[in-house]
Amino acid sequence: MPAPVIAVDNLVKRYGKTVAVGGISFSVERGTTAALLGGNGAGKTTTLSILLGLLLPTAGSVRVLGEDVLRHRHRVLPRINFSSPYADLPHRLTVRQNLAVFARLYGLPRRRERIELLAHDLQITAFLDRPVHSHCSPWRLLVPCWPKPRQRVI
């Protein structure tokens, strides 16, 4: 059986005495859809932040596409995508600046050229130099949803 695309083993995250994630384990097989369900404060956002390499766990291991996220985050990140209506973009930055931040974060080559091409393809060239806060929610969601090459986990 092939290795899972996501494998979490005994993941723990503590903030002082507060346990945000208490030793969870799960795996996600290729070609499946998975969800993290739970009430407020259950650790869903913390778990996703660890999966994305944004937070370090207190204990446990996380593998995405066979790579240890803690050790090889920069190899994993270009191959995954995460978007949330709750992820807010810096309001003072323009659409172009936000796209540049994400392009750099994901290590995309020819960033300026690709931003121009994307803007042309999506017919948003007129909006590139406007602040993100001046657009409705779908425009703000566009930036983190920008497809990356060789995505494997979305």
Write down the residue that tokens 């091409």 correspond to.
117
pLDDT of residue 101: 79
pLDDT tens for residues 101-112? 777 777 778 889
Q: Is the pLDDT at 145 greater than 50, yes or no?
A: no
Q: Are 90 and 122 in contact (CB under 8 A)?
A: no
pLDDT of residue 13: 96
- Sheet architecture: strand order including 18-28: 18-28, 6-15, 59-64, 67-68
Top-confidence residue, 10 or 136: 10
d(CA 109, CA 151): 15
d(CA 125, CA 117): 9
Claim to verify: residue 11 and residue 41 sit in the same structural domain: yes
pLDDT of residue 24: 96
Tell me what the pLDDT averaged over the chain comes to: 80
Q: Alpha carbon of 6 to those of 21, 63, 113: distances in Å?
A: 17, 6, 33
pLDDT tens for residues 44-91? 989 988 888 878 999 999 999 899 988 888 788 778 876 665 555 566
In a domain, 89, yes or no: no
Query: Pick from 67, 51, 64: which is nearest to 11 by CA?
Result: 51
Token representation of residue 2: 């092939």
Q: How confident is the model at residue 138 (pLDDT cuts 50, 70, 90)?
A: very low
Pairing of β 67-68 and β 59-64: antiparallel
Claim to verify: residue 72 and residue 27 sit in the same structural domain: yes
d(CA 138, CA 129): 17
**Looking at the whole model, is its pTM more than 0.75?**
no
Percent of the chain with pLDDT over 70: 78
State how many domains the chain has. Answer: 2
Q: Which domain holds residue 123?
A: 95-145
d(CA 44, CA 36): 6
Claim to verify: residue 44 and residue 109 sit in the same structural domain: no
pLDDT of residue 146: 47
Q: Are 46 and 21 in contact (CB under 8 A)?
A: yes
In a domain, 88, yes or no: no
Average pLDDT of the residues in 2-28: 94
Claim to verify: residue 57 and residue 101 sit in the same structural domain: no
Token representation of residue 72: 């090889």
